[in-house]
Amino acid sequence: MFAEPEFWVAVAFVILMGVFAYFGIHRTVLTTLDHRSERIKAELDDARRLKEEAAKLLAEYKARHASAEREAQDIIESAKAEAERIASEAKTKMEDFVARRTKTAESKIGLAEAQALADVRAAAADAAVTAASTIMSQSVKGPIADDLLAKGIAEVREKLN
């Protein structure tokens, strides 16, 4: 039994434990383990607190993101409505502009027709007067002819103009 190495390992172990107990190393080891346990517990508590804060921040950012999405959608909808309103106003203004231009063009055409009709009547009256005076001057001679010619020209001018 004294020759076996396991026996001597057991004796050395018992002596080592006795030395440790004499110098109070077990108290130091237990204190160190207690401090380490407390430090690990504090770190776990901090990690748990940080995880909860991160979850709150994530929920807050998700709420902000949803709010921003809704706001962006509202902006897009209002921009579309504004564009439709502007297009409608532009269409109405264009229709009014075309109607005014058409009315102006029609009145100018009416004035031009009236002027053309007056010019044609004046030209016809002048031609009739010239023809009547030529015919009368060739067919009737003397002071009576001149008097009749003047009366006839005056009557023609009054009726045609």
Is pLDDT larger for residue 126 or for residue 133? 126
pLDDT at res. 11: 93
Asked whether the predicted pLDDT for residue 136 surpasses 70, the reply is no
pTM reported for the whole predicted model: 0.43
The conformation of residue 52, written as its DSSP 8-state character, comes to H
Is pLDDT larger for residue 153 or for residue 29? 29
CA dihedral 28, 31, 36, 39 (to 10 degrees): -140
CA dihedral 8, 14, 20, 26 (to 10 degrees): 130
Asked whether the predicted pLDDT for residue 76 surpasses 90, the reply is yes
Q: For the chain, what is the mean pLDDT? A: 88
Radius of gyration of the chain (CA): 61
The conformation of residue 80, written as its DSSP 8-state character, comes to H
What is the widest separation between alpha-carbon atoms in the chain? 189
pLDDT tens digit sequence for 24-54? 888 888 999 999 999 999 999 999 999 999 9
| Cα–Cα–Cα angle for 21, 25, 27, rounded to 5 degrees | 95
Give CA–CA dist 47/53, Å, rounded: 10
Tell me the pLDDT band of 157, cut-offs 50, 70 and 90: confident
pLDDT at res. 135: 73
pLDDT at res. 71: 95
Tell me the pLDDT band of 145, cut-offs 50, 70 and 90: low
Give CA–CA dist 119/141, Å, rounded: 32
Asked whether the predicted pLDDT for residue 123 surpasses 90, the reply is no
Give CA–CA dist 33/27, Å, rounded: 10
Asked whether the predicted pLDDT for residue 160 surpasses 70, the reply is no
Q: Percent of the chain having pLDDT more than 90? A: 62
